[in-house]
Structure 1
Amino acid sequence: MKRTILTINSGSSSIKFSLYEAGPAPGRLLFGRLERIGLPEGRFLAFDAGGAPLSSTGVEFPDHGAALKELFNWLAGRPEGRGMGAVGHRVVHGGAEYTAPSRVGKQLLSALKRLIPFAAEHLPHEIKAIEAVSSTFPGLPQVACFDTSFHRTMPQTATTFAIPAEFRAEGVIRYGFHGLSYEYIMEELSRLEPDRSKGRTIIAHLGNGCSMCAVKEGRSIDTTMGFTPLGGLVMSTRTGDLDPGIIVYLLKTRGYNPDELNELLNKKSGLLGISGISPDMADLLKKEATDLSAALAIEVFCYQARKFIGSLAAALGGLDTLVFTAGMGENSPEIRERIVEGLGFLGLEIDREKNRENSEVISKGAVQIRVMKTNEELMIARQTWRIISG
């Protein structure tokens, strides 16, 4: 029986999963998601490697443990699910201690629980998933794949906030996120163009959450997200960078408590907050011509993205390659064109026809512009295989 690797990506009310054939080049066998955990009308969806439906079932999931039990029971009835050799988890935050994927044990689990204040929106659900696997499959190897570890090569000048040293000692520094996506893109770029991957690259991960990373000689040297995934670019519902004085103002004038502030900054701001219509860029593009707020949200998003490309190019000392990835980055020619517009002084010029066709290379200037599909689940499978086989 072939060994497999299960990858798990736990969110606040959903779990994404994929099953891969174990090996140095993992091949996906099936994938799916468990939706509306802890909410009415839960759903279990599964698909084969080609995207054909394998299951679409309405199931109530009172918590993550119940959702994972449903998944494990379903996998036990599948021939592909009977040779599971390891589970790889996406873990959003590894703090300063974990700079690479690591096998899960008591020490790592204790460290993750201490880190919950750093990522209270994500870590509790990821810890529950690890504990659920341990309970159901005692002794099965598990690997934590950290979204922060790719950025641990950043110099101290890039990770340091201008706050007193006592807070830095507590771990209040720039960590950066989307590291699994960035690592995957760099591995693929190295495969496609080995020499170019050793140059100066900016990767723009533009999805519901958005960030950019400056990569030099294959190593992250700066990124737009900071201590949490809230900073940097304007996002679907997150503010991105914000004058800290606004927080003080809200505390004084509105009397917000921490949970209310978190709700405002993480779930009611960004494209949704500016437009008052939708967090979805596709919706805003449809309404741009007739709705000034939708038009403003798009303009602010693209303006901020251009600014960050400029600042990261300065950190790199120039630019050889710009990569667009994730939802908007991969699928929105209009947003790509608007972001690049005006960056000709950096050598960035877009080929409109190739851009509309979503070609792999969409540039005609001195700097190459690429569109690349990211695959965080495959990166988790690769990292998990390297740990359990190494």
Structure 2
Amino acid sequence: MTQALLVLNTGSSSVKFRVFALAPGLALLAGGKIEDIGSGASIKANVAGGQATLGALPEVKDHDQAVSLMLDWLDSHNSGWQLVACAHRIVHGGDRYQQATALDEAALDYLAGLTPLAPLHQPHNLAGVALVAARRPGLRHYGCFDTAFHARHQPLFNRYALPDRLFERGIRRYGFHGLSYDWLAHCLRQEYPALAQGKVVAAHLGNGASLCAMAGGASVDTTMGMTALEGLPMGTRCGNLDAGAVFFMVKDLGMALAEAERLLYEESGLKGLSGISNDVKVLLASAEPRARFALDFFALKVAQQVAAMAVSLGGLDALLFTGGIGENAAPIRRQILSHLAFLPPFAHLVIAANEEAAMATEILEGFAKELL
């Protein structure tokens, strides 16, 4: 029987999963996602080489039910493999984890303490660990971190202009989307070896968005910082903002801190600028001037920060696009590139995101001896 790895990404309203054979090549055995948990959930899943399962689900109130449904679906579609481990996407690894790690009680306690740094993601990521462990007590659990790819930044790129005592207490630039960037670096090594050794800016553009400056496949700089709020404007997050604006909201406009936090994380970005939606497909199809403004703003800010990443690298050999917007919104890519036309020529590529494959690769390479 084939030993297999479950790769899990538990989000705020979704559970995404893939099953890989724990062997060289990491054959994909099954995968899918349960979406819209709590409001008309649906499943889209398939076994490799088989028919897809599509459609609405009975009322799925919470992640507890969603994880149960996922595991039941995997049991009923098992074609001769046995789950021995589960790898969990965890957004924030803090300054402790520079690579994937086994998730014991001490690790989970530390990661729970990082929740204020990733309030939209960390609680759901960690809930997935507990939910699967309760239903499959024999599995080993591992955490794969979005911050790990950036963990070896030089001080010039991981500091804020604050006193040392605050850096020592964790106020520093961590960076995110590292699993996506790790996959892009892998793809470059496999398919574009010359570029892999060069100066590359990778653009992970989706509802969450960031850039990463890579030299020789390693992260040098990135646009996100201590939290996933810094950097580019995103679907509902503001991106870079004068910290004084937050003081003004609280002191002069009378906002509670929780209200200001919700505004910056959930009501800003493309959604806030357009007043319509955080969905780029909706905005591209809209005739509303505010929709056009939001997209123009987004493209300009991406281009400006691509140029900043090129400064960190001392040049630019290629710009990579990935993520939902980066892969699918050609008008946005063209607009970004038009802003950068003044630069010396550079290559530009679209590479499909595959964070799950990056996680599976890291687990196979790092923990094969204990799993096989």
Shift of 1:195: 2.5
Aligned to 2:213: 214
Query: Residues 51 and 234 from structure 1, CA distance in 2 versus in 1: closer, same or farther, beyond 3 angstroms?
Result: farther
1:24 pairs with 2:24: yes
Q: Which residue is 2:348 aligned to?
A: 369
Letter in 2 for 1:10: T
Query: What amino acid is aligned across from residue 47 of structure 2 in structure 1?
Result: D
Would you say 1:388 and 2:340 are equivalent positions?
no
Q: Deviations over 1:169-222 (max 9, x none)?
A: 221111111000000000010111223201100001111111100001221110
Quote the residue 2:12 is aligned against: 12
> Would the aligned equivalents of 1:318 and 1:346 in 2 still touch at CA under 8 Å?
no
Residue 249 in structure 1 maps to residue 228 in structure 2: no
Match of 2:85 in 1: 86
**TM-score, normalization by structure 2:** 0.94
Q: Report the equivalent of 1:67.
A: 66
Q: How does 1:56-135 map to 2 (within 5 A)?
A: 56-80=55-79, 82-135=81-134
Following superposition, the deviation at residue 239 of structure 1 comes to 0.5
Deviations 1:144-175 (A, max 9, x none): 00000000121111111122333212211111
TM superposition outliers: structure 1 runs of 4+ over 6 Å: none
CA distance in 2, matches of 1:41, 1:286: 25
Point out the more displaced range, 44-53 or 232-241. Answer: 44-53
Partners of 1:59 and 1:258 lie apart in 2 by: 37
Q: CA RMSD in A?
A: 1.7
Indicate how the Cα distance of structure 1 residues 386 and 60 shifts in structure 2: closer, same or farther if over 3 A, else same: farther
Q: Does 1:313 align with 2:292?
A: no
The aligned amino acid for 2:323 is A
Per-residue Cα deviation, 1:87-110 (whole angstroms, up to 9, x for no partner): 111000000000001111122112
Q: Is 1:337 aligned to 2:334, yes or no? A: yes
Q: 1:326 aligns with which of 323, 326, 335?
A: 323
Q: Deviations over 1:23-64 (max 9, x none)?
A: 232122221222333x24333432233684225352333432
Residues paired across the two proteins, number: 369
What's the CA shift for 1:123?
1.4
Question: Are the aligned partners of 1:24 and 1:386 in contact in 2 as well (CA < 8 Å)?
Answer: no
Q: Quick one: structure 1 residues 120 and 179, their matched pair in 2 at CA, closer, same or farther if it must change by over 3 Å?
A: same
Deviations 1:247-302 (A, max 9, x none): 01110123222321222111111111111112122222222xx4221221111111
Once the two structures are superposed, residues 93-146 of structure 1 have per-residue CA deviations (whole angstroms, 9 ceiling, x without a partner) of 000000001111122112112222222221111111111222222231111000
Instruction: Measure, in 2, the Cα distance between the counterparts of 1:114 and 1:31.
Output: 31
Distance 1:50 1:311 in 2: 44
Instruction: Report if aligned partners of 2:201, 2:214 keep a CA contact under 8 Å in 1.
Output: yes
Contact 1:46-1:56 within 8 A present in 2 as well:
no
Secondary structure of the residue aligned to 2:252 is: helix
Q: What is the DSSP-based 3-state SS (H/G/I as helix, E as strand, rest coil) of the residue aligned with 1:128? A: helix
Taking structure 1 as reference, are residues 253 and 80 closer, same or farther at Cα in structure 2, changes over 3 Å only? farther
Q: TM-score, normalised by structure 1?
A: 0.90
Query: Counterpart amino acid of 2:11?
Result: G
Mean CA deviation greater in 203-212 or 42-51: 42-51
TM alignment of 1:210-359, pairs within 5 A: 210-287=209-286, 290-347=287-344
Looking at structure 1, the residues matched to 13 and 279 of structure 2 have their Cα atoms a distance apart, in angstroms, of: 19
1:81 to partner: Cα distance: 7.3
2:5–2:19 contact (8 Å) kept in structure 1: yes
In structure 2, C-alpha distance between the alignment counterparts of 1:55 and 1:76, rounded to whole Å: 17
Distance 1:333-1:41 versus aligned 2 partners, 3 A rule = closer
CA–CA separation in structure 2 for the residues paired with 1:57 and 1:173: 43
Q: Distance in 2 between matches of 1:241 and 1:69?
A: 39
CA distance in 2, matches of 1:229, 1:81: 40
Inter-partner Cα distance in structure 2 for 1:382 and 1:191: 14
Contact kept, 8 Å, 2:40 with 2:56, in 1: the verdict is no
Using the TM superposition, give the Cα deviation of residue 83 of structure 1 relative to its aligned residue in structure 2, in angstroms: 0.6
Describe the shift of the 1:50–1:209 C-alpha distance in structure 2 as closer, same or farther (beyond 3 A).
Answer: farther
Name the SS for the 2:33 alignment partner. strand
